[in-house]
Structure 1
Amino acid sequence: MSDALVNGLAGAGGGIIAQILTYPLQAVNTRQQTERKAKQSTYQASQVERAPPEVGSQQKRSLGTFRELSRVLQEEGWEGLFRGLTPSLIGTAASQGVYYYFYQLFKDEAEAYALKRKKRGFGDGSPGMFSALVVAALAGCLNVLLTNPIWVLVTRMQTHAQAQKNACGGSNIRQIFLEAETASSEKPTNNLKRNMSYGTLAAIQDLYDEAGIRGFWKGVLPTLIMVSNPAIQFMLYEGMLKQIKKKRALNKTGSTNITALEYFLLGALAKLGATVATYPLLVVKSRLQAKQEIGGDKALQYSGTFDAILKIIRFEGVGGFYKGMGTKILQSVFAAAVLFMVKEELVKATRILVAKKR
């Protein structure tokens, strides 16, 4: 079994475990990122004047992480926190598998090139920080182009109930369903049924009806730019790992073994740096991939990446790019730490098994 395949499978396994553990936080964060709350707009001003106080609460500040979790549980139940989990797990396994497979392939090439340079009298025989950045960026680009449709579906499933709530003037979707059932002896309408059970096939059909095949690659430009996130993450991770191994190699024992806890902490630190640097792009990507509002305020609808950036700046200010950042740091840092720890331990265990068989 090739080293690239081992890393690919281990990355997929680690990604699945991390995703299951942190999915509710990810679902809440996606909702926070896709909230379109303009500072001031003609449509919203007229709506607030006409609407009751509770409906005109669009101007209220975003809820915190745990208050948002509580609100989703109260209004939508556990299903609301885990909506889109199945395609998300498929997407995570595919994304991490593809990413780590190509990352290892490119990394092996970079290491081979570094050794050739050392023989010619250049360098120490190991890839530098810039090489790690390029390797991670190349692997990330391939991963984005192959798996973007999956993440578009996940985003829409996570934000579907929120979009329906906005369309109904902020009313509770469950309450609307119950009222419709009570008011009539007839069965609830198909639309209401669909709103309550919005699955993968419904999301695919909805997206295709809205934007055709091109819709499955919505947000691909900011996502490609977001490749800088794992690129920065791996650059920091590999750099810190290299320094630790160098220091330990100088010890009398000469052991360069890294513990699971150390992998966890290195992964957390690397992801923290990368998330803080690239979060605004993540908000733009989520806004583009979420269902665009039909009618209403045009200031809160986006025709493309640059249109989204300009409208967020104009109507929400710079703070619009940082909605839900606290939740994202909590979710992504923990997920990355778990992923790195599990992935490295799986790689280590696989290599031991292969060595024993040989």
Structure 2
Amino acid sequence: KMLLQTQDSNPDIQSGKVARYTGIVNCFSRVASEQGFWTLWRGNMANVIRYFPTQAFNFAFKDNFKRMFPKYDPKTEFWSFFAANVASGGMAGAASLCIVYPLDFARTRLAADVGKGADREFTGLWNCLSKTASRTGYGSLYQGFGVSVQGIIVYRGAYFGLYDSVKSVIFADEKNANIVLKFLVAQCVTAASGVISYPFDTVRRRMMMMAGRKGGDAVQYTGTIDCWRKVYQQEGVGGFFKTIL
């Protein structure tokens, strides 16, 4: 997924050293045959390390931020209730992102690191973080952080806001609600949140690919706004939604 999402910013693919991937099936088969089957899990350790603290911080922060807002009746004050849930969910997501972002950065760079053995740019998680920091400073580990915060606010805001709001309207008694209906509501909210925030995810991963680069020719995007503009101009709206399915 991340190989396809970032290949337009991958120097090895841009230079022709590695041929472009034409789709998800082509990507799966080529990665397995050219780089080895286990390469399909490259970067997953960083994701595993990142995942659990992210979820814990999200829910811990959400409850604390939620206390900052007045309690609204979802039946009579729906929009105020919805806005409070969106705000608290977004703030929780942004706060947790500040803590785990370097791991998310490493996950992306390792997954997009095409090649085998010595041809790869990084040998592992620590090598990715240390090598990038030594090239362009520790701040480069937060490359794309701004748009990531925007995206996480949109995603978490939509997720927590929509779910808390919808369940309050649909379920008169959530504890005794139909489990299948609860599952469907959760899945619909998750899917909707992902679609809404996906362009931010594409831009942030493209910006992550710029970390560690030096020189005008190597730096494809000068900033987040430049990335939004160039992706739209060169790839159209569809460029923001690559590999969404």
Whether these two folds match at TM > 0.5 is yes
How far apart are the structure 2 equivalents of 1:197 and 1:312? 26
How far apart are the structure 2 equivalents of 1:56 and 1:297? 22
Which structure's residues are more often helix, by fraction?
A: 1
SS at match of 2:222: coil
Bigger radius of gyration: 1
Q: Are residue 114 (structure 1) and residue 71 (structure 2) matched?
A: yes
How far apart are the structure 2 equivalents of 1:125 and 1:307? 38
Alignment match, 2:6 = 34
Tell me: CA distance 1:213–1:292, structure 2 relative to 1, closer, same or farther (3 Å): closer
Residue number among 139, 143, 149 corresponding to 2:92 in the alignment: 139
Q: Are residue 215 (structure 1) and residue 147 (structure 2) matched?
A: no
Tell me: CA distance 1:57–1:68, structure 2 relative to 1, closer, same or farther (3 Å): closer
8 Å Cα contact 2:47-2:107 kept in structure 1: yes
- 1:273-288 matched pairs, under 5 angstroms: 273-288=192-207
Alignment match, 1:97 = 56
How far apart are the structure 2 equivalents of 1:299 and 1:314? 19
Tell me: CA distance 1:261–1:157, structure 2 relative to 1, closer, same or farther (3 Å): farther
TM-score by length of 2: 0.83
Deviation at 1:100, TM superposition (A): 0.8
Residue number among 212, 229, 233 corresponding to 1:310 in the alignment: 229
Tell me: CA distance 1:144–1:56, structure 2 relative to 1, closer, same or farther (3 Å): closer
- 1:224-235 matched pairs, under 5 angstroms: 224-226=149-151, 227-235=153-161
1:317-354 alpha-carbon deviations (Å, 9 max, x no partner): 3322121121xxxxxxxxxxxxxxxxxxxxxxxxxxxx
Deviation at 1:154, TM superposition (A): 1.0
Tell me: CA distance 1:68–1:263, structure 2 relative to 1, closer, same or farther (3 Å): farther
How many residue pairs match? The answer is: 241
Alignment match, 1:160 = 113
Alignment match, 1:83 = 42
1:173-210 alpha-carbon deviations (Å, 9 max, x no partner): 34xx6xxxxxxxxxxxxxx1x72972111111221123
8 Å Cα contact 1:36-1:300 kept in structure 2: no
8 Å Cα contact 1:156-1:290 kept in structure 2: yes
Q: Identify unmatched segments of 5+ residues in structure 2.
A: none
1:36-58 alpha-carbon deviations (Å, 9 max, x no partner): 17xxxxxx7xx7xxx8xxx7965
8 Å Cα contact 2:86-2:157 kept in structure 1: yes
How far apart are the structure 2 equivalents of 1:158 and 1:199? 10
1:219-275 alpha-carbon deviations (Å, 9 max, x no partner): 1111111021121122221122112322xx4xxxxx742455444322210121112
Deviation at 1:75, TM superposition (A): 2.0
Amino acid at match of 2:64: L
Residue number among 168, 175, 178 corresponding to 1:242 in the alignment: 168
8 Å Cα contact 2:203-2:228 kept in structure 1: yes
- 1:293-308 matched pairs, under 5 angstroms: 298=217, 301-308=220-227
Alignment match, 2:103 = 150
1:116-139 alpha-carbon deviations (Å, 9 max, x no partner): x99xxx957997111111111111
How far apart are the structure 1 equivalents of 2:18 and 2:216? 14
1:6-57 alpha-carbon deviations (Å, 9 max, x no partner): xxxxxxxxxxxxxxxxxxxxxxx211111217xxxxxx7xx7xxx8xxx796
CA RMSD of aligned residues (A): 3.4
Alignment match, 2:23 = 64
Instruction: Answer 1 or 2: higher relative contact order, Cα 8 Å, separation at least 6.
Output: 1
